[in-house]
Amino acid sequence: MAGITIDNVTKRFGAEDNAVVAVDDVSLDIDDGEFVVFVGPSGSGKSTLLRMVAGLEQQSEGDVVIGDTVVNELGPRARDIAMVFQNYALYPNMTVEENMSFGLKMSTDMDDDEIARTVTDTAEMMGIGNLLDDTPGELSGGQQQRVALGRSIVRDPNVFLMDEPLSNLDAKLRTEMRTEINRLQQDLGVTTLYVTHDQTEAMTMGDRLVVLNYGELQQVGTPLECFYRPANRFVAGFLGSPS
Ligand code: ADP
Ligand code: MG
């Protein structure tokens, strides 16, 4: 398990003289086991920030620290993180069990029995233990989402990153999966960074909320603090705070 420090991190895209500043000098300490929700309008730098923590994007300035390790130079694999995106791509020709085993086969030295046991345990925990022999095409959207989550956590990562994982689901399923993700995170105690532009997710899911606009940190606090004591007019407007 690991806390995360984002230390004066900036990301610029494009040439020096007309660069887009996607993330602008953001600093943030995240506790081990904490669930932090990043919220802000489209283009505010949420995905870029998450991708820098994941090692999928290299920051222009600043440090990312996971646990005791400055991970600036480390690729995604070495960071021991799991990531779930909006467009979770399951392998269509593999069964659920194969989808969930694949990463373990590639990245651990577990033997086949151990892998099978780990996958079964995780699938049971996710309520998809009866679907192991099915292929993704045979599953509902919600079941596919559970497989995607199960596949990402089966490696028992230190850090769990989610970028709008529920935005393709209908309202009923979103409500169900919100609860499910919170339960899972608490069971695993895994440090979680969760990106959304959904008000309800922002207000209900995390220990703390991080509000971004134009790549700049606007406020960090509990959802209630941000809602009732917004740091500025932008936060108040975005969260719909009472005036
Ligand atoms: P969000 O996830 O909050 O919608 P993003 O992190 O995707 O925001 O984008 C932040 C800003 O960085 C936007 O202005 C976007 O156009 C820009 N951006 C993101 N990725 C790239 C890229 N690969 N190349 C150039 N500009 C990018
Ligand atoms: Mg995004």
pLDDT in tens, 90-141: 999 999 999 999 988 887 788 999 999 999 999 998 889 999 999 999 999 8
pTM of the model: 0.93
Closest ligand 1 atom, CA of 41?
Answer: 3
Between the CA of 116 and the centroid of ligand 2 the distance, in Å, is 34
Ligand 1 lined by 48 (C-beta under 6 Å): yes
Beta bridge partners of 29: 5
- Which residues neighbour 226 within 8 Å (Cβ) at sequence distance 6 or greater? 209, 211, 219, 235, 239
Q: For residue 1, name the pLDDT band (cuts at 50, 70, 90).
A: low
Q: Does the structure show a pLDDT above 90 at 216?
A: yes
Provide mean pLDDT across the span 153-162: 91
ipTM above 0.95, yes or no: yes
Question: Could you give the maximum distance between any two Cα atoms of the chain, in Å?
Answer: 59
Ligand 1 lined by 44 (C-beta under 6 Å): yes
Greater pLDDT, 198 or 35: 35
Q: Which amino acid is at 130?
A: N
Contact 147, 99 (CB under 8 A): yes
